[in-house]
Structure 1
Amino acid sequence: MKGSWPQPGGALKAANDGIKSKMCSFWEDRGFCAKGSTCSFAHGAQELGTPVASVAPSGPSGDAGNGGLWKTKSCKFFDLGTCQKGSNCNFAHGDHEPDFAGSKADSWLRRLRSIPWGQGKVKVFGKQYEEPRLTCYFGDKEYTYSGRTVKPLPWSRATILQEIKKRVEQTTGETFNSVLCNRYRNGSDTVGWHADNESIYGPKPTIASVTLGAERDFDLREGKGGTGAGRLRIRLAHGSLLVMSGATQDRWQHSLPRRTTVKDERINLTFRRVV
């Protein structure tokens, strides 16, 4: 399996009358499940006995039903015209469903271009290099990574981020107090392998990642330096939301690889909670 990049698997169905009665083997074994809150199995003992989240498509207005849950992958049976599950299917019936931002995505992308972007410098093996992307950080506390200390900007300087933060919190049920914004100007901008395991985020942090603009590959590998067998590649589309939680940052690394054929920009917002 090492070196291969499987896509997220099919739906996991539990014969449990809508209650999570078993632990998710992916979450237990690897600390990561691509289905997130929509998984039919429990991600931790605290979820045992709780209802399985139902998933509803986004409507024309872009407002997702049933608490704002979303679909992240197309239904292959729908594409063949044979899906019998209708709106209860865990997978998308059409391009309009794998969506978090809905009709707001284009507006969000346009407004985010005007926040105060800058190009930071990081230390790698004692040498300073410019980061291959633009960044800015909003929140309550500073944080340090790769030899760079970042001071937060006040939320009042970007009402658009407050708007998106509210939507993310409603969708995930989590509370966040900081956001790291990354602007990848084209496919040559990238971020290397790393885990967001800084102590300021506490144990087993939840990080919510919003993608706006160009679709890019998001790669995950198990273990520090890819020493584990697990590999996963997720295509993050315009207006999508990815949530990493549990042991993901302890047991997995992630990256955004270079894609020189991509000519358009991608803005990524990663909402976090500093403790």
Structure 2
Amino acid sequence: MTGAFQGSLLDFGDGTGPRPLDAVRRTRLAHGAWIDVLPGWLPGADELFERLLTAVPWRAESRRMYDRVVDVPRLLAFYREGDALPDPVLDEARAALNEHYAGELGEPFVTAGLCLYRDGRDSVAWHGDRIGRGATEDTMVAILSVGSPRSLLLRPNGGGSGETIRHELGHGDLIVMGGSCQRTWEHAIPKSTRAAGPRVSVQFRPRNVR
């Protein structure tokens, strides 16, 4: 771990779990996509971040790019449907998301992918979650961010003519990408030249969406 985590002065854990999702703000995007954003959705997120650092079996991965193998610039963990999540707060968060989005999504969030961005050198390139049904069907991906804020960028596929959307996510913030977002838009966490502390991203997804 090379980044230094600095907790938020506004993050007061009260033991009541996630805040109600009634205050979530929806932004309609082009091509039938949308995002919901709720800053500070999870009280006590800084304490959850510290627990996840030690409770999650983080692993490093490498991938072939063209003629060489490169390290994936972040640490990863994945919890399949039926796997026990690494902290009961994540069970509460998923249950709250399922209750709120059940009518619109039509199915529950069942998996959880976790990424640890250790400092500003860790990143994820432009992509959509198109492995499985996300390539052909409207779906949702809900991302809970704990730890230090990092920029999440969204843009139409290939850049297009639309303006890039930026959200600084950390300390319990929530973003939900829905509609055609995975098929018609891309998102990324770019590298940062500024000092950046560590962040954990928790991605809740329905069955057969990666």
- Shorter-chain-normalised TM-score: which range? 0.7 to 0.9
**Aligned length in residues:** 178
Considering only aligned residues, what root-mean-square deviation do their CA atoms show, in Å? Answer: 2.6
Letter in 2 for 1:111: R
Q: Distance in 1 between matches of 2:139 and 2:154?
A: 17
Q: Distance in 2 between matches of 1:211 and 1:168?
A: 14
2:52 is aligned to 112
2:151 is aligned to 217
Relative to 1, partners in 2 of residues 1:68 and 1:221: Cα closer, same or farther, differing over 3 Å?
A: closer
Q: Distance in 1 between matches of 2:160 and 2:147?
A: 32
Letter in 2 for 1:203: E
Kindly state the Cα deviation for residue 235 of structure 1 after the two structures are TM-superposed: 1.5
Considering Cα pairs closer than 8 Å and 6+ residues apart, tell me whether 1 or 2 has the greater RCO. 2
Q: Distance in 1 between matches of 2:48 and 2:123?
A: 21
Asked if 1:167 is matched to 2:101, the reply is: no
Letter in 1 for 2:71: E
2:160 is aligned to 227
Which range moves more in the overlay, 104-113 or 248-257?
Answer: 104-113
Q: Distance in 2 between matches of 1:203 and 1:71?
A: 24
Alignment of structure 1 residues 231-246 onto 2, 5 Å: 231-246=164-179
Kindly state the Cα deviation for residue 260 of structure 1 after the two structures are TM-superposed: 2.8
Kindly state the Cα deviation for residue 238 of structure 1 after the two structures are TM-superposed: 1.2
Kindly state the Cα deviation for residue 162 of structure 1 after the two structures are TM-superposed: 2.6
Report if aligned partners of 2:18, 2:92 keep a CA contact under 8 Å in 1: no
1:260 is aligned to 193
1:30-65 CA-to-partner distances (Å, cap 9, x unmatched) read: xxxxxxxxxxxxxxxxxxxxxxxxxxxxx9846666
Q: Distance in 2 between matches of 1:204 and 1:157?
A: 26
Q: Can you give the 5+ residue segments of structure 2 that lack an aligned partner in the other structure?
A: 1-11, 26-37
1:146-178 CA-to-partner distances (Å, cap 9, x unmatched) read: xxxxxxxx6226243333322332444451111
Report if aligned partners of 1:214, 1:262 keep a CA contact under 8 Å in 2: no
Report if aligned partners of 1:221, 1:228 keep a CA contact under 8 Å in 2: no
Kindly state the Cα deviation for residue 200 of structure 1 after the two structures are TM-superposed: 4.1
Report if aligned partners of 1:210, 1:270 keep a CA contact under 8 Å in 2: yes
Report if aligned partners of 1:191, 1:257 keep a CA contact under 8 Å in 2: yes
Letter in 2 for 1:222: P
2:3 is aligned to none
1:135 is aligned to 76
Moved over 3 A (4+): 59-65, 170-174
SS of residue in 2 equivalent to 1:189:
coil
Amino-acid identity (%) = 25
Letter in 1 for 2:47: S
Relative to 1, partners in 2 of residues 1:193 and 1:133: Cα closer, same or farther, differing over 3 Å?
A: same
1:247 is aligned to 180
**Which protein is bigger by CA-based radius of gyration?**
1
Report if aligned partners of 1:71, 1:99 keep a CA contact under 8 Å in 2: no
Asked if 1:184 is matched to 2:117, the reply is: yes
Relative to 1, partners in 2 of residues 1:197 and 1:247: Cα closer, same or farther, differing over 3 Å?
A: same
- Using the size of structure 1 for normalisation, the TM-score is 0.58
Kindly state the Cα deviation for residue 126 of structure 1 after the two structures are TM-superposed: 4.3
Relative to 1, partners in 2 of residues 1:273 and 1:208: Cα closer, same or farther, differing over 3 Å?
A: same
Report if aligned partners of 2:128, 2:183 keep a CA contact under 8 Å in 1: yes
2:23 is aligned to 70
